[in-house]
Amino acid sequence: MKKLNHRASFFTFALVFMMVFAGIVLAAAATGYTLFGTATLVSPGNNSPTGAQTSSEGPLETLTVGGIDFDTADGLTFEDLTKLSTDYKFTEGTCGGGSPRFQVNVIQGGVEKNIFVYIGPEPNYTNCPTGTWQSTGDLLESARLIDTSQLTGGNFYQSYADALAAFGDLEVTGIQLVTDGGWQADQTVIFDNVMINNTTYTFESKDSCKDGGWENFTGAPGPFRNQGQCVSYFARGGQ
């Protein structure tokens, strides 16, 4: 019964979110991604100067949401999407109500629909710790559960392997990382080191190297020997 109530509540919320998302003004942009809604860059991230903070507060009638919209290549299909992962830290609230999540937009029968890849302990995706960095690991391992219930023939709990067999040829038109569970309880979460296939998003730029910021890169893409090496890395597009 708990699972059924969670699902019903989330579907009610999802309709509201789609209407809210349609009216959101994009807030900030950088190479490869765009922040929307409440999302903003904050310091520090996880072993780096910068992370992307998102928050959500309810109730449904005045729900605030935030997230990151990632660029996707033309011609990408669901079977081409082989890895989704992120580091995350809750500073307020916890996971729940289908949030936070990766949201994969696909085309089925000429209609754009969503595959939801939830963050948190399976199968209820609740009780994430607060105040400490966590890693999702690869959410698209064959036995991991994802939500394909918006798709014809999909299920609320379906393994990635089964979803791949059923929907692998569907075109992917977008990927977002979304925080929007404030209708259930206020949420604030910071993301860093987001991986989509072989691309890692650290939310850094050459400006993150200044004023001693280069020393904060204790993990990838650092460590750097000095500010100049750090600036050069980002000036070359992360190489």
* Residues 231 and 197 grouped into a single domain: no
The residue segments making up the domain with residue 220 are: 204-239
* Residues 136 and 89 grouped into a single domain: yes
Q: Among residues of the chain, what percentage have pLDDT more than 90? A: 70
pLDDT value for 31: 66
C-alpha distance from residue 16 to each of 61, 147, 222 (Å)? 8, 18, 41
* Residues 29 and 126 grouped into a single domain: yes
Whole-model pTM above 0.85? Answer: no
> What is the tally of structural domains in the chain?
2
Q: What average pLDDT does the segment 177-203 reach? A: 96
Average pLDDT, the chain: 87
* Residues 147 and 178 grouped into a single domain: yes
* Residues 21 and 31 grouped into a single domain: yes
Place of tokens 């791949």: 164
User: What pLDDT band is residue 225 in, cutting at 50, 70 and 90?
Assistant: very high
* Residues 169 and 195 grouped into a single domain: yes
pLDDT value for 238: 65
pLDDT value for 216: 79
* Residues 159 and 230 grouped into a single domain: no
DSSP symbol at 16: H
Taking only the tens place, the pLDDT of each residue in 51-84 is: 999 999 999 999 999 999 999 999 999 999 999 9
* Residues 57 and 93 grouped into a single domain: yes
* Residues 238 and 138 grouped into a single domain: no
